[in-house]
Structure 1
Amino acid sequence: MTEANLTHPVKRSIAQEAEKLSGEISGINRAIFDKPEVCYQETFAAALLQEKLVAEGFSVKSPVAGLPTAFVATRKGSGAKGASAKAPTVALIAEYDALPQIGHACGHSLIAATAFAAAAAIVRAAPDFPGTLQVIGTPAEEGGGGKVRMIEAGVFRNVDAAIMTHPSNKTRVVARMFAVTELFFTFTGKAAHAAAFPYKGVNALDAGVLFYNAVSSMRQQLKEEARVHGIFTHGGDAPNIIPEKVEMAFYIRALDREYFQEVIARVRQCAQGAAKSAGCKVSIKQRGMVYDPFYPSYPMGQAFRANMAAINAPEDDFSETEEIGSSDIGNLSQVVPSLHPEYAIGGREDINHSRNFLEAVISKKGHAAALAMTKAMAMTVYDLLTDPQLMAETRRAFKKTK
């Protein structure tokens, strides 16, 4: 495997170029942070990244997959001409959508900035790399499933490995993520005056409460690798009206695809049983995209850890299943070997989607952490492009997950 320390002259040059790009990282992060755009509306962020990548010699295709804010930026290394036909294509993944109301409290502005800077550091320091380097702009991670739609359109068909880094409250190279789906439940009964004629009504709220309690009881028998959580989105219209319609939304998550489907089926059974008990009807609809579980590439993770060690970037002590969520990169990991390291930009209590995290995204500590991850990510991409043994190990490990 390629020597992973900064005595390696090319990696030293990559790290130096990344250091020179510190101002670009800060500038891109701040520009996107100050102009938050929610899923599929990221016109400013996508245009900014494309402009920066063109200036670094990338050819850019946009829109892709019918998505106006998705793009693929491509640059072949000058060593690709003499490389074998199996020279890899490695993609840096950029995200740049914001959250509603709270803006970039998940740090996607930093994800975009580091993806650009890692690509730029590689092409400046080592333009003779074999193979192809891509930066793929993926909109709408926050519930819109941009990567899912891009996978379906074949955007990643020729990609051999994909990598991105994500701001967090911890630094961890290898982590898994839950599959997730949202189910929407509508219980329908019969309205009646709650004082004068309660016996003529059919209480949809009773069905909803029974359902909620059934799910709560079911949780005791769930494996640790699953999560079910939900809310009432409509509980009735007035206290003196027997509720005719009650609506509820639930997220269902699991680490394993098969168990994921099993838990979904059990939640559906809870809803159907509750409706029958209350004399109501229930309709169940899936909303949004289904995100698959994320399976990290362990060979890529080992290379990333070695590169972190080479720049003296520490990793926190967390297992790969502690404090995890869900993302559409899970779907990508089903079709392409993928890595999604996290890095701490604030304190342990500064968690994603919070006001504290929002402040950390543009903090000095956040910038320093993003710069370190840019270096480690760029060096890992260089490893994948230039080390046939690492790429072969990555492919073999990926096949075992299928």
Structure 2
Amino acid sequence: MNKQALKEQVIAVVDAMAPELKEISLFLHTNPELGGQEYKAAQLLTEVAERSGFSLQSNISGYETAFIASKGSTGPKIAFLAEYDALPGLGHACGHNLIAAMSWGAAAAFAAVAADRAVSYLIGCPAEETTGAKVAMAEDGIFDSLTAALIVHPAANNNIGGTSYATHPLKVTFYGRPTHVASKTDKGVNALDALVMFYQGLKPLRQTFTQETILAGIITKGGTAPNIVPEEAEAKLTVRALSSEYLEETVLPAVRRLADGVAAATGTTVTTLHYEPLFKELINDLRLMELFQNNMALLGEPVTVLTPEDAGGSTDVGNVSHRTPTLHPDLAIGCNLVAHTPDFAVAAGSDYAQKRLLAGAKAMAMTAIDLLD
């Protein structure tokens, strides 16, 4: 098997798909949909996949906008993960329009070139920015039989390696007893005072942890009127660590103990609730990293290799990586870009980004070629 020749075929297929991939990316960019509501995006991607002879399964793991499109029957099973949800008020400020187009380009090119040597999957994964469909999909075993799962994220630089923070967002609610603030007979129990004390305690608590940890949050409810002692006060926290084990077994129990201690000291009661599921830390597969880097070099694309501890953000791709060999590199679409900003949204819709996505699709499909038996 001449894999170099097959890679050259992959490059040709992706180049021929350039108008289609640009159309997909820009359609998603101009029609942003929030997590779990990506009906237009899912319809577009499933239609193009079916037109190319992919078999389709819809409504996966309880998500109407999740799907599995596959082509082939034997050999290595390579999945290209598509994300397509947008951010409230910002649109595609994380570039998921580009991710969807890149993954479809890679899946289609790999299927066309590998033919009967492998199974090519395009797996549609909704709600990465919120509940993370990949969490439920991983729990349902969707990724367990795969040889590899690949996804490329737009960014300011070409990077490979590193990790992501494990995160398990937490809502903390204190309950007190309301009364008029000027009452001479009943001072009430101030839930907001308790919440503020708890919030102030997060910073010194963070200093006690032996692994890198992020404790941040906002007060989402602080009372109903300034002349009424607040009966209920609520905060939403992002709680992150470099490993899901340390997060679940050390960090979160400590946060709950802090909340319980404040409640006991202030005469309030407190509840804690995970309002989004656990996103595990990302494990980039070393073999896939090497193959991808080599293929980027063939495309004339220099890549920076990050250390295993270099964490950035959180993603439900981490949950996939705990079930199958996974690769999640970055592809440069512009300089000095920061995700989840208006500038990033503009860059994701630029002509330059539509050209750059071709490199991501090619590198993924070429890496898949390397996995052929």
TM-score, length basis structure 2: 0.94
Aligned residue for 1:289, secondary structure, equals coil
The equivalent residue for 2:15 is 19
Matched, 1:116 2:112: no
Aligned pair partner of 2:153 in 166, 169, 179 = 166
Q: Alpha-carbon deviations, 1:29-80, whole Å to 9, x = none?
A: 0111111111111111111111111222211121223322111111116xx4
Matched, 1:10 2:19: no
Identity rate, percent: 38
Matched, 1:355 2:342: yes
Q: Distance in 2 between matches of 1:139 and 1:317?
A: 28
Q: Distance in 2 between matches of 1:381 and 1:145?
A: 25
The equivalent residue for 1:390 is none
Matched, 1:202 2:180: no
Change (3 A) 1:190 1:63: closer
Deviation at 1:334, TM superposition (A): 1.0
C-alpha contact (below 8 Å) 1:192/1:198 kept by paired residues: no
Aligned residue for 1:37, secondary structure, equals coil
Q: Alpha-carbon deviations, 1:245-274, whole Å to 9, x = none?
A: 111111111122221120001111111111
Residue-pair matches, total: 372
Deviation at 1:184, TM superposition (A): 0.8
Matched, 1:46 2:8: no
Aligned residue for 1:173, secondary structure, equals strand
Deviation at 1:372, TM superposition (A): 1.0
Deviation at 1:195, TM superposition (A): 2.8
Q: Distance in 2 between matches of 1:97 and 1:183?
A: 22
Q: Distance in 1 between matches of 2:220 and 2:62?
A: 32
Q: Distance in 2 between matches of 1:67 and 1:220?
A: 39
C-alpha contact (below 8 Å) 1:198/1:242 kept by paired residues: no
Deviation at 1:367, TM superposition (A): 2.1
| Counterpart residue type for residue 78 of structure 2 | V
Change (3 A) 1:63 1:238: closer
Give structure 1 stretches of 5+ with no counterpart.
81-86, 388-402
Q: Distance in 2 between matches of 1:187 and 1:199?
A: 19
Change (3 A) 1:221 1:369: farther
Q: Alpha-carbon deviations, 1:299-344, whole Å to 9, x = none?
A: 1011000000111112246444445011111111111111111112
Aligned residue for 2:207, secondary structure, equals helix
The equivalent residue for 1:372 is 359
| Counterpart residue type for residue 60 of structure 1 | L
Q: Distance in 2 between matches of 1:158 and 1:200?
A: 61
Aligned pair partner of 1:227 in 211, 214, 222 = 214
The equivalent residue for 2:277 is 289
Give structure 2 stretches of 5+ with no counterpart.
none
Matched, 1:30 2:29: no
C-alpha contact (below 8 Å) 1:144/1:288 kept by paired residues: yes
Aligned residue for 1:174, secondary structure, equals strand
Q: Distance in 2 between matches of 1:294 and 1:198?
A: 56
The equivalent residue for 2:115 is 127
The structure richer in strand per residue is: 2
The equivalent residue for 1:252 is 239
